[in-house]
Amino acid sequence: MSGDREQQGRVVVVGAGMAGVRTVVALREEGYDGDVVLLGEEPHAPYDRPPLSKSVLLGSAETSAFDVDFAALGTELRLGVRASGLRAAAHEIDTSEGPLGYDHLVLATGAAPVRLPGTAQHPHVHLLHTLDDVRALREVLARRAEVAVVGAGWIGAEFTTAAREAGCAVTVLEATGHPLSGALPAEVAAPMAKWYAEAGARLRTGSRVAAVEDTAVVLEGGERVPADAVLVGIGARPVTRWLEGSGIDLAPDGSVRTDAWLRTSLPDVHAVGDCASFPSRRYGRRLLVHHWDNALQGPHTLAGVLTGERAEPYDPVPYFWSEQFGRFVQYAGDHAGASRLVWRGAPDGPASSVCWLEEDGRLAAVLAVGRPRDLAQGRKLIASGATLDPALLADPARPLKTAVR
């Protein structure tokens, strides 16, 4: 492979989160010797997001900046620069600092939290996504405010855990009938409701928010729930609106549609991480994965494509973890098309796992609470396409891998 910078051209990476940073690192690891430009919309040095809801929020760390020497990588890092448009025919993007040309463009803009309508400028309504968000929330925890959390998803649970640890009174308002309704079926997630009570938080399901006032959240029906501060955690959407009108193929969920090598519908434009959906041969459908591991793994495939070193399709086993209410919750796979659910351990016990099987017995997904060995073994079994015996699988005393047919 040539080391000629002109021949290799310039790669512009839009987005300085995990996916963008790992793309830059992976390009150099694969031997890419052209110019690389990394754009970050925030003024802060690029940082990792999972610690924001944990160590940074609780004050045990001030930041979670990546330990990456961009200068040593020969990368031009431009902070505080926002991309606003893509003109593929000209091989240019429009930015807050003017037009920027590229030979290859990597979209790594991630996903942003969904806001409650009408609350964008409300001084007491918070999101948990950026370093600035967390610094504002640390002030909320420091004064032990009475907090309402809208949404009992992953972010809501992690923030509730931190807020209770800080001594705040917390009421969680969930519109559906159980926690994690967007991620897990009721029979799996309903037992998690007791975790909130054990932590001293009040979980109210079937509670839809109509408005937010200065000292209360107003529910549909008129009830007012007292709150000095409100944390909203009702999902996220890919940051792709700036691409509308560019001709790029966007899915109904807002994600950039890529092929199995993370190439978009436009020439020399690629997408990776939370903003991109990709076809999974393993699951037979397109996946949009808003999790850290996807942003970590995708750049390896992308760098191989850009350097021509390899062209293996991107088809990972999705993986995610959450620390909440003193529990380590891990999930691998995708259960959307599974036909059977098998418990390993009591649903309301201190540790248990749930396994989802496809119709032919292949393991599709595993959720482990306090059973990391089940997760580790299950992730490998999903990757290998192993079929399992449901009767053996249901015995929590047996290693999961011994249930293989």
Decide if 60 is inside a domain: yes
- How many structural domains is the chain composed of? 3
Is pLDDT of 4 > 60?
A: no
Which residues span the domain enclosing 358? 326-403
- Say if residue 70 is in the same domain as residue 178: no
- Residues with Cβ within 8 Å of residue 386, at least 6 apart in sequence: 362, 363, 404, 405
Say whether 219 sits in a helix, a strand or coil: strand
- Say if residue 106 is in the same domain as residue 203: no
- The domain boundary residue, chosen from 217, 232, 247: 232
- The sheet carrying 98-101 orders its strands as 83-87, 92-95, 98-101
pLDDT (tens digit, 9 = 90+) per residue, 130-186? Answer: 999 999 999 999 999 999 999 999 999 999 999 999 999 999 999 999 999 999 999
- Say if residue 172 is in the same domain as residue 272: no
Q: What is the pLDDT of residue 256?
A: 98
CA distance 382 to 334: 10
Is pLDDT of 113 > 80?
A: yes
**pTM of the prediction?**
0.94
Closest Cα partner for 317 from 370, 264, 364, 357? Answer: 364
- Say if residue 139 is in the same domain as residue 218: yes
CATH number (domain holding residue 367): 3.30.390.30
- Say if residue 345 is in the same domain as residue 272: no
Decide if 150 is inside a domain: yes
- Say if residue 218 is in the same domain as residue 170: yes
pLDDT (tens digit, 9 = 90+) per residue, 366-404? Answer: 999 999 999 999 999 999 999 999 999 999 999 999 999
- Residues with Cβ within 8 Å of residue 15, at least 6 apart in sequence: 39, 40, 41, 107, 108, 109, 110, 239, 273, 275
- Say if residue 211 is in the same domain as residue 268: no
- Say if residue 101 is in the same domain as residue 34: yes
- The domain boundary residue, chosen from 200, 217, 232: 232
- Say if residue 214 is in the same domain as residue 254: no
Q: What is the pLDDT of residue 161?
A: 97
Decide if 386 is inside a domain: yes
- Say if residue 72 is in the same domain as residue 150: no
Decide if 78 is inside a domain: yes
Q: What is the mean pLDDT of residues 353-365?
A: 97
Looking at the DSSP bridge assignments, the partners of residue 169 are 146
Is pLDDT of 2 > 80?
A: no
Q: What is the mean pLDDT of residues 295-309?
A: 93
- Say if residue 225 is in the same domain as residue 241: no
Q: What is the pLDDT of residue 7?
A: 45
Decide if 315 is inside a domain: no
What is the chain's mean pLDDT, rounded?
95
Decide if 312 is inside a domain: no
Q: What is the mean pLDDT of residues 39-63?
A: 92
CATH number (domain holding residue 163): 3.50.50.60
Decide if 27 is inside a domain: yes
Decide if 319 is inside a domain: no
- Say if residue 40 is in the same domain as residue 145: no
